[in-house]
């Protein structure tokens, strides 16, 4: 569905799943054979741990790396609560889960700090949306990359994914990017909250799977 001009929709960033396997190969596995869901939970937590990003049980279920399998939220919550295999591999504190061997509280505090920074960035993005809405060929503006899952620092970019009308992509890029460059708000021009126009596409090219 194409969103109206100036309307912000935020979606989680998607990263290559191959890295999950790499992280798992760095893990030891003892003689106790895990069930599919337990292993999927470790894979998911391991992937997000690359970014120092602890997950809630609900987020583990949302992002569960279990190709070809389907599990309910209740399934995930039950395994997290009752598994005898997960303790030591996955640690929990205050409703957040991280890889074993790490101090959960340190990463929870870091996530909270990054969440507040992202909330501040979203305020700036909503202000910028008023400018974007002046152009009828701008059909949608999305937050992407780290900002889309509230995992930023003050130096992180405000990354944008912009959808425009067919035939206007280069005009759109020029008209949208130029004011930010003139105001010194682009990457390499400022260290705090730079605007990065990461992706442009058109309404008729929204299938991005390949």
Task: List the beta strands (DSSP E) in 47-135.
Answer: 55-56, 90-93, 96-99
Nearest CA to 131 among 166, 162, 157? 162
Radius of gyration of the chain (CA): 20
Instruction: Specify the 3-state DSSP secondary structure of 94.
Output: coil
- DSSP codes joined into one string, 133-162: TT-TTEEEEEE-GGGGGT---TTS-EEEEE
Which has the closest alpha carbon to 199: 131, 151, 154, 147?
A: 147
Fold match between 8-13+113-202 and 32-102? no
- Summarised one tens digit per residue, pLDDT across range 56-80 is 999 999 999 988 889 999 999 999 9
Measure CA 198 to chain center: 14
Query: pLDDT at position 210, please?
Result: 61
Please say if the pLDDT value at position 23 is more than 60: no
Output 120 or 66, whichever has higher pLDDT: 120
Assign domain 8-13+113-202 one CATH number from 2.60.120, 3.30.460, 3.30.310, 3.40.50.
3.30.460
Taking the domains of the chain in order of start, what are their residue ranges?
8-13+113-202, 32-102
Instruction: For residue 142, give every residue at least 6 positions away whose Cβ sits within 8 Å of its Cβ, in sequence order, or none.
Output: 8, 9, 10, 11, 148, 160, 161, 162, 163
CA distances from 143 to 13, 32, 43, 99 (A): 9, 42, 26, 28
Assigned token pair, 18: 């191959």
Q: CATH: 3.40.605.10, 1.10.10.10, 3.90.1150.10, 3.90.45.10. Which one for 32-102?
A: 1.10.10.10
Q: What does pLDDT average to over the chain?
A: 84
Q: What is the pLDDT of residues 140-186, one digit of tens each?
A: 999 999 999 899 999 999 999 999 999 999 999 999 999 999 999 99
DSSP 95: T
Whole-angstrom distance, CA of residue 113 vs CA of residue 207: 34
Which residue has better confidence, 128 or 50?
Answer: 128
Taking the model in full, what pTM does it have? 0.73
């Amino acid at each position: 569905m194409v969103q109206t001009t100036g309307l912000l929709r935020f979606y989680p960033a998607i990263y290559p799943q191959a890295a999950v396997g790499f992280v798992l190969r760095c893990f030891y596995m003892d003689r106790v054979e895990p069930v599919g869901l337990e292993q999927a939970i470790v894979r998911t937590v391991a992937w997000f741990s690359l970014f120092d990003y602890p997950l809630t049980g609900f987020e583990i279920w949302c992002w569960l790396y279990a190709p070809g399998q389907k599990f309910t939220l209740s399934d995930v919550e039950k395994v997290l609560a009752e598994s005898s295999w997960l303790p030591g591999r996955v640690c929990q504190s205050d409703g957040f889960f991280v890889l074993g061997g790490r101090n959960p509280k340190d990463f929870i505090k870091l996530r909270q700090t990054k969440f507040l920074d992202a909330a501040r960035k979203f305020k700036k993005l909503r202000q910028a949306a008023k400018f974007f809405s002046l152009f009828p060929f701008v059909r949608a503006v999305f937050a992407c990359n780290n900002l889309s899952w509230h995992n930023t620092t003050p130096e992180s970019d405000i990354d944008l994914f912009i959808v425009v009308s067919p035939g206007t992509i280069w005009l759109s890029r020029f008209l949208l990017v130029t004011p930010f460059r003139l105001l010194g708000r682009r990457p390499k021009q400022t260290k705090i909250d730079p605007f990065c126009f990461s992706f442009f596409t058109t309404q008729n090219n929204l299938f991005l799977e390949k």
